[in-house]
Amino acid sequence: MKLADLPLKVKVKIPTGREYEQPTGLFINNEFVYPKQKKTFDVISPTNEESITSVYEALEEDVDIAVEAANAAYPRWSTSPPAVRAKVLYKLADLIDENADLLAEIETFDNGKSLMNSKGDVALTAAYFRSCAGWCDKILGNLINTGATHLNYTQRVPLVCGQIIPWNFPILMLSWKLGPVLASGSTTVLKSAESTPLSALYVGKLLVEAGMPKGVVNIISGFGNPAGAAIASHPKLEKVAFTGSTAVGRKIMKAAAESNLKKVTLELGGKSPNIVFNDADIDRTIQNLVMAIFYNSGEVCCAGSRVLIQSGVYDEVLAKFKKAAESIKVGNPFDPETFMGAQASEIQLSKILNYIESGKGQGAKILTGGQRCQGKGFFLQPTIFTDVKDDMKIVKEEIFGPVVSIIKFDTVEEAIALANNTEYGLAAGIHTSNINQAIHVSNKINAGTVWINTYNDFNPMVPFGGFHSSGIGREMGEEVFHEYTQCKAVRIKLSLPGTKL
């Protein structure tokens, strides 16, 4: 294909038989436009390993254009009435709901996840945009009392942002980034992951329908280098938000520091412990263990990839967990009965398989799974390792796939020590019927989120983010609006009756 031959919108046929119009250009100033060099790249379906379409690639000069658009939109949008911003967000949420089936199918075709998972992602996306709409008039400053001689107050000032989202939850992570931008009066340039750009571009179309002014949100497709690097180091962006690996997060933070010391939020990797105590409700716990590691094909930053089981129920939990894993339907992600679709890319599948070989090489035993599924597509069996040691690579490093390590423990304090023996601190799970034990252990675990008798259980009002190598800052909840604004303090000397200035 010649570069100039690709239209800015193309017809795409999804395996369900649905045909729709897919934007392929860069979304800048509410239009889909060609990049300066008109370079394209293929978008590959993880299900059949074939090209879905091509999209246009943003380079450094295109990032500059998008940043200029975001800066030009800032004065008007940052001072717009909260009701105006809320109207856009409510309308966008309605449009997400109206297009839910299409968006879920795009997500499954592009990412490989099961349609069951994609539908859940789209529902959460609409819910989060609605939640942010309700925050528009509640991003408040404070009145500060320092005595009668001065009036003091603070206000939250919006920012011009750059945002980089991952490939594992393309549309949901887009909402986690764009929701607070639109609510706070900030503007942004958002880069999608190069392997999953399609739903983000389609949302650009819906943003226009929702009434968003031009330049407020600009969405570009491209690679970490050069486009992501250009965002992280751009002198005209005041904040960068990144979701992805810890290794790349460190590079983002360094680039932000070396450019203009822009504000940074990083939602990074994890190696989350999932602790099962002797008094847990075993059947409910098994469901939670499955959701913790095999949901979204294991491609979840907070996946419960280290399962710690107390010795009194170890054999029972292990047997039931094995049975549950082996009953998971893996395959055609458009089949409504499929729970695990494909891994998102061939690169990711190869990485996971290398970890499985490492585990076997270091002496761990595979209880079930461990093999690539036969046929086309990047499919992998749910995999459970036993006989692991705490210093093994599969226990220490983030695999980002449907692979879990099982560790036995005896005492509560031993469980806490095992849980905290990691550089990460994104999430943790606790399964027990003793509320006192649950609170005690949750207080001792170093993690940004602790789920008790549940897992991967999100709500727009509950903040999410990590400790240590799992990142900086928070998504969702009230806390996220502090990430997308700066605090300005104003102090006024008053002239009181009977006094001189």
**Cβ count within 10 A of residue 101:** 14
> Tokens in use for 245?
């690996």
Whole-angstrom distance, CA of residue 402 vs CA of residue 343: 9
**Cβ count within 10 A of residue 418:** 18
Torsion over CA: 426, 309, 325, 116 (sign): negative
Burial class of 309 by CB neighbour count within 10 A (0 to 12, 13 to 18, 19+): buried
Burial class of 463 by CB neighbour count within 10 A (0 to 12, 13 to 18, 19+): middle
Q: Classify 444 in phi/psi space as left (phi over 0), alpha (psi -120 to 50) or beta.
A: alpha
> Is residue 7 within 8 Å of 186, Cβ to Cβ?
no
Rounded to a whole number of angstroms, the CA Rg of the chain reads 24
> Tokens in use for 281?
């409700």
**Cβ count within 10 A of residue 496:** 10
Instruction: Determine the angle formed by the axes of helices 435-444 and 412-420, rounding to 10 degrees.
Output: 30
> Tokens in use for 170?
């393309």
Whole-angstrom distance, CA of residue 121 vs CA of residue 141: 33
The amino acid at 419 = A
CA end-to-end span of the chain: 75
The residue assigned the tokens 């940043």 is 67
Q: Helix, strand, or coil here: 161? A: strand
Whole-angstrom distance, CA of residue 368 vs CA of residue 375: 20
Whole-angstrom distance, CA of residue 57 vs CA of residue 43: 11
> Tokens in use for 273?
């412990």
Question: Does the annotation mark 483 as catalytic?
Answer: no
> Tokens in use for 132?
């942010």
Whole-angstrom distance, CA of residue 39 vs CA of residue 34: 9
> Tokens in use for 2?
């010649």
Whole-angstrom distance, CA of residue 3 vs CA of residue 90: 38
> Tokens in use for 141?
């400053």
Whole-angstrom distance, CA of residue 339 vs CA of residue 307: 20
57, 105, 238, 267: the active-site residue: 267
Phi then psi for 351, rounded to 5 degrees? -60, -45
Whole-angstrom distance, CA of residue 385 vs CA of residue 360: 9
* Residues labelled as active-site residues: 267
